[in-house]
């Protein structure tokens, strides 16, 4: 399946490059490109840098472009409109929180999400969580409590792994009441090593989902 690429547009080259470095920790297979600063290396934005970054990020599944300030968004929109030929999968320019939206988009793309899913994940950063989705047909809820074993707790990379794992199942999965497919929601829990996490799964493959998530997070406590 064609993959979605992501471009970070910032007035600062260091910020754009840092965001690529951060997102790559959680989405190593996604095409992540930085377009920061002017052509001369100063603070500002560059049409040429953005257009070139979109071209490099285009792997057939579309490209999401996220900017840090209004003029960066305008530059990105102009570049997207002027591309010839335009990426077959399309280009979507978003004005969302750069770090939160970019990381959420990257993790969704890493999990195989299409352009619409990646855009929705990025936009969820502005609203503080993922949009509600219909629950799958339930075969009865399953619950388990585990003690977090990862030394990092549920931060950054471990949280991204959880989100990707939960997305493989048809059942809904929640950790301490939060949708396990929402990276921002999981990170907001602030769970650390040794904390208890209550996992709930409901749907046609709830038991398998519960076993998988519990195995990822840690040891059973009850």
CATH code for the domain of 17: 3.40.50.510
What is the side-by-side strand order in the sheet with 91-94? 32-36, 3-10, 60-67, 91-94
- What pLDDT does residue 63 have? 96
Instruction: Give the per-residue pLDDT at 218.
Output: 82
CB within 8 A of 217, min separation 6: which ones? 146, 148, 149, 150, 154, 162, 175, 197, 199
Question: What pLDDT score was predicted for residue 177?
Answer: 93
Percent of the chain with pLDDT strictly greater than 90: 56
Please tell me whether residue 84 adopts helix, strand or coil conformation.
coil
User: Are both 110 and 32 inside the same structural domain?
Assistant: yes
State which residues form the domain around 181: 142-220
- 129-161 pLDDT tens trace: 444 444 444 455 789 999 998 887 787 778 888
What ranges make up the beta strands (E) of the chain?
3-10, 32-36, 60-67, 91-94, 142-148, 172-175, 178-179, 196-202, 218-220
Is residue 155 included in any domain, yes or no?
Answer: yes
Beta-strand runs (E) in 123-195: 142-148, 172-175, 178-179
Q: Is the pTM of this model over 0.85?
A: no
* 99 belongs to a structural domain: yes
pLDDT of residue 166: 87
14 with 113, same domain: the answer is yes
DSSP 171: S
Taking the CB of residue 76, how many other CB atoms lie within 10 A of it?
27
pLDDT of residue 32: 97
Give the closest residue to 146 by CA, choosing from 175, 185, 173: 175
Q: Quick one: pLDDT band at residue 123, thresholds 50, 70, 90?
A: confident
Query: What is the rounded distance in angstroms from the CA atom of residue 205 to the CA atom of residue 165?
Result: 13
Kindly give, in sequence order, each residue whose CB lies less than 8 Å from that of residue 92, ignoring residues fewer than 6 positions away: 62, 63, 64, 65, 115, 119
Q: What residues are annotated to the active site?
A: 11
Look up the CATH number of the domain holding residue 201. Answer: 3.30.1340.10
Mean pLDDT confidence for 5-23: 96
- Per-residue model confidence as pLDDT tens digits over 161-214: 888 888 888 899 999 999 988 887 888 888 998 999 999 999 999 999 999 999
Confidence of residue 127 (pLDDT cuts 50, 70, 90): low
| Overall domain count for the chain | 2
The answer to whether position 166 is within a domain reads yes
CA dist 200 and 145 (Å) reads 9
**Other Cβ atoms closer than 10 A to 176:** 17
SS3 state of residue 187: helix
What pLDDT, on the 0 to 100 scale, is given for residue 140?
A: 57
Domain membership of residue 137 (yes or no) is: no
> What confidence category does residue 81 fall into, taking pLDDT thresholds of 50, 70 and 90?
very high
Helix, strand and coil percent figures for the chain, each rounded to 5: 40, 20, 35
Is residue 56 in some structural domain?
yes
For residues 74 and 155, membership in a common domain is answered with no
What is the per-residue pLDDT for 151? 80
- Domain co-membership, 120 together with 157: no
Give yes or no: residues 115 and 15 share one domain: yes
pLDDT value at residue 77: 95
Residues 89, 149 share a domain: no
Whether residues 79 and 150 fall in one domain: no
Q: Which residue has the higher pLDDT, 74 or 219?
A: 74
Asked whether residue 136 is assigned to any structural domain, the reply reads no
Domain boundary among 64, 94, 127: 127
CB under 8 Å to 38, separation ≥6 — which residues? 44, 45, 46
- pLDDT digits 0-9 by tens, 24-44: 988 899 999 999 999 999 999
User: 160 with 196, same domain?
Assistant: yes
Q: Is the CB of residue 14 less than 8 Å from the CB of residue 36?
A: yes
């Amino acid at each position: 399946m064609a993959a979605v690429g992501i471009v970070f547009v910032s007035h600062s080259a260091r910020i754009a490059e840092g965001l690529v470095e951060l997102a790559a920790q959680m989405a190593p297979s996604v095409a992540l490109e930085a377009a920061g600063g002017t052509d001369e290396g100063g603070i500002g934005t560059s049409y040429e840098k953005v257009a070139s970054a979109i071209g490099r990020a285009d792997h057939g599944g579309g490209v999401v472009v996220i900017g840090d300030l209004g003029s960066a968004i305008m530059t990105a929109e102009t570049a997207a409109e002027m591309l010839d030929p335009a990426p077959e999968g399309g280009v979507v320019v978003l004005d969302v929180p750069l770090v939160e939206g970019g990381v959420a988009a990257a993790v969704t793309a890493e999990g195989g999400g299409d352009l619409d899913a990646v855009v929705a994940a990025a936009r969820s950063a502005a609203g503080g969580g993922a949009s509600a989705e219909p629950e799958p047909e339930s075969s009865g809820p399953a619950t388990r409590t585990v003690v977090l074993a990862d030394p990092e707790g549920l931060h950054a990379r471990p949280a991204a792994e959880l989100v990707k794992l939960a997305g493989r199942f048809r059942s809904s999965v929640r950790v301490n009441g939060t949708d396990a497919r929402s990276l921002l929601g999981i990170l907001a829990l602030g769970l650390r090593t040794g904390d208890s996490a209550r996992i709930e799964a409901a749907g046609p493959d709830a038991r398998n989902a519960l076993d998988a998530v519990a195995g990822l997070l840690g040891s059973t406590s009850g």
